[in-house]
Amino acid sequence: MPELPEVETVCRGLREILPPGAQLSSLERSSYKLRFRFPARVEERLKGQQLQSIQRRAKYILFKFDREVLINHLGMTGSWRPKATGELTGHEHVALQFSQQLRLVYNDPRRFGYFDLVANKDLATCRWFKALGPEPLDATQFDPDYLKRRAKSSGGSIKTFLMNQKIVVGVGNIYASESLHRAGVRPTRSPRSLTLKECERLVVAIQDILQQAIQAGGTTIRDFVSAGGDLGAYSTSLTVYGRPGQPCLTCAKPIQSYRLGGRATFSCAFCQH
DNA sequence: CAGCGCCCCTGCCCGC
DNA sequence: TGCGGGCAGGGGCGCT
């Protein structure tokens, strides 16, 4: 489900629901294991702490409390919705209770999502964060020179390269295909072969597309919902993803689909070189 | 050791 | 209408 625009959309929705300074009164969870073991003694450690902020880093949601950060990755099908009362049912796995009426429930049918809890000071060096690449929307860190430098020494395909969170964070399977199409670069190209000009076009394409997708509240293919219950409207702006055989919106030739690194990939043989 | 499959899950859609 | 196979927005891990 969630790439950078979807996680950003969830964070914005959560901020609208949770007032600053909300105090965690209890944490409830299902007996199911998510992708990884749930961190030990979470409720005991977090109970009574005030929520300072909700932030996004890469595809992670960060619930920053007084002393510790609750880290949540949505996997493929994770979502957060307010649900004031009632038992956890179905695929609901975690509930954060703040006040009588303020309770957020984490739902995740495939259970690829996960949680961790780290001390504030250890966030940058924790196992999830230490190797992450730059944020694509941070122009001071993610620019054509950076991309060219990293691409120069990388094998594989440019699409897999863009989806590698050590190179740049937040780009997943949908936006990788979309960005490569916008930039006119074939997904199968070796990163080594990219010119600086192509890196420039890729950086611009990635930044434009992610920004537009955030504006649209993300992309919903099947599951994605924001914390407010809205579907992502960027689905209607997709140019290649999920459009095999349909005409390219630039040249009208049929969009090709194939697998690259085990993932569905979409491109135009005429527009992308 | 970079890079590639496999696999963790459930649900849905498609073809037979 | 029922059912098996394939596939899904992520990414850690084990193997080569």
Nucleotide nearest to A113 (CA to C1'): C10
Q: How far apart are CA A111 and CA A6, in angstroms?
A: 18
Q: How far apart are CA A147 and CA A20, in angstroms?
A: 37
Q: What is the 3-state secondary structure (H, E, C) of A60-115?
A: EEEEEECCEEEEEECCCCCEEEECCCCCCCCCEEEEEEEECCEEEEEECCCCCCEE
* Nearest residue to A25 (alpha-carbon basis) of A107, A106, A95: A95
User: Integer distance in angstroms from CA A264 to C1' C7?
Assistant: 9
| pLDDT value of residue A17 | 97
Q: Which of residues 100-119 of A touch strand B (CB under 7 A)?
A: 109-112
Output the CA torsion sign for A155, A160, A165, A171: positive
| pLDDT value of residue A20 | 85
pTM for the whole structure: 0.98
Which one is catalytic: A47, A81, A83, A263? A263
Q: How far apart are CA A58 and CA A168, in angstroms?
A: 9
Task: Please confirm, yes or no, whether A263 is among the known catalytic residues.
Answer: yes
| pLDDT value of residue A100 | 85
Q: How far apart are CA A242 and CA A245, in angstroms?
A: 9
Which one is catalytic: A57, A59, A148, A182? A59
pLDDT tens digits in sequence order for chain A, 273 residues long:
699 999 999 999 999 999 989 999 999 999 999 999 999 999 999 999 999 999 999 999 999 999 999 999 999 999 999 999 999 999 999 999 999 899 999 999 999 999 999 999 999 999 999 999 999 999 999 999 999 999 999 999 999 999 999 999 999 999 999 999 999 999 999 999 999 999 999 999 999 999 999 999 999 999 999 999 999 999 999 999 999 999 999 999 999 999 999 999 999 999 999
User: Integer distance in angstroms from CA A77 to C1' C7?
Assistant: 15
| pLDDT value of residue A2 | 96
* Nearest residue to A226 (alpha-carbon basis) of A18, A3, A13: A13
